[in-house]
Amino acid sequence: MWKQYLAGLIVSAGAVYLFLSVVDLGQMAQALSQMHAVYLLPCAALYIASYIFRALRWRHLMLPVARVGFWPLLAALFIGFLANNILPAHLGEVVRAYLLGRDQGVKKSAVFATIVLERVYDGLTVLFLLMLVLLFMDLPDRGVEGSLLTTRGLHAAGWLGFLLFAGLMAGLQLLRWQRARMLGWLAFGLRPLPDRLAARLLDMAASFADGLEVSRARDILWVVAHSLLIWLCLGLWAWSLFPAFDLRLGFMAGLLLEVVVALALLIPAAPAFLGTFHLAAAFTLGYLGASTGVAGSYAMVLWLVHFVTTNLLGLYFLWRQGLSWRSLSRGGEAVPEE
């Protein structure tokens, strides 16, 4: 695991260095001293609401695997995102698959497949919202010094991201629709391995395929609807903090900021998205015309709302389930099995 930590730390160190070289620390301190703290409450409430929509969507994705109640799903979500703030390489996703699979008595590889499918829906939704921003928002024709954030760059990111996530979705759908054939090809490819290991890997792949199923067309519509609600809520979350810094920007600006941050978080970084989150948020606000001091202060406070809210609720659910820090590391090191 130390290699993932090291790679993430290098990326985050570079992002933090670039962030500090672009923002004006004196202006940041002044902007923080003048911040209207009353807006932190609705900002945190909207962030929590996005988790509620995530849990509701996950319940529909889990239906072909098992019927799981709302609270176990919400607890696993917060604990998993807490683990993302501690463990490298987004291993919190593995943690929540491990915990939910263990607590609900279902195959962990099937649970993990629903998380993969969830992330694909997230990616496609973010790119759809980026398309709406590009179509309906009057974007400035300028860039930010030291960044690649330009209108042309946003268009390029949208197309590249669409091709990536559309290809991934096509591959997952192929595994769903041609399950027997795909598993047969995998079994053929595993023939050089020892029989016991090959059988175990094949069983894991079959369980993973189980988790890719969505039982009814109505459930797919609910998944799409909840995906839109999640990311619209996160756009409101970003927008709700603008008045704290006297930023007169509309909802579409908040949506753009959240989309850029979401795309930046795909880059491997240190736990808690240190540096990459701040850089993406600050560059987006600079691109929209904010001063570097205000942009840096906003990015820092928005990240703190994410970090503190996630950790407090994650620790609460960790305590409610009688789990420890060691259990997070064990879950992160576990490979979905059975």
Query: Which amino acid, residue 255?
Result: L
Question: Which residue in this structure is represented by tokens 């909802």?
Answer: 251
Q: Are 29 and 230 in contact (CB under 8 A)?
A: no
b or e along 99-117 (b: 16 or more beta carbons within 10 Å of the residue's beta carbon)? bbbeebebbbbbbbbbbbb
Summarize the confidence of residues 241-260 as an average pLDDT. Answer: 95
Rounded Cα–Cα distance for residues 199 and 231 (Å): 40
Report d(CA 251, CA 314) in Å as an integer.
29
Which pLDDT score, from 0 to 100, does residue 215 have?
Answer: 47
Q: Is 254 exposed, middle or buried (0-12, 13-18, 19+ CB in 10 A)?
A: buried
Q: Are 305 and 79 in contact (CB under 8 A)?
A: no
Q: How confident is the model at residue 146 (pLDDT cuts 50, 70, 90)?
A: very low
Closest to 165 measured CA to CA, from 116, 107, 201, 98: 116
202 token code pair: 């094949």
In the predicted structure, residue 138 carries a pLDDT above the cut 90: no
Which region, left, alpha or beta, applies to residue 106 given φ > 0 means left and ψ of -120 to 50 means alpha? beta
Average pLDDT over residues 166-187: 71
The mean pLDDT value for 131-159 works out to: 71
Q: What pTM was computed for the model?
A: 0.84
Report the pLDDT value the prediction gives residue 336, as an integer from 0 to 100.
45
Between these two residues, 335 and 51, which has the higher pLDDT value?
A: 51
pLDDT in tens, 66-99: 899 999 999 999 999 999 998 877 888 989 998 9
Q: What is the pLDDT of residue 127?
A: 83
* Count of residues in the chain: 338
CA distance 267 to 88: 12
State mean pLDDT over 268-295.
91
> Is the confidence at residue 164, as pLDDT, over 90?
no
Please give the full DSSP string across 248-315, using - where no structure is assigned.
---HHHHHHHHHHHHHHTTS--SGGGTTHHHHHHHHHHHHTT--HHHHHHHHHHHHHHHHHHHHHHHH
Q: Which pLDDT does position 36 carry in this prediction? A: 97
Listed residue (338, 323, 255) closest to 99, CA to CA: 323
Q: Using CB atoms within 10 A of its CB, is residue 324 exposed (0-12), middle (13-18) or buried (19+)?
A: exposed
For the beta carbon of residue 172, count every other beta carbon within 10 angstroms.
Answer: 17
Closest CA to 245 of 48, 33, 47, 41: 33
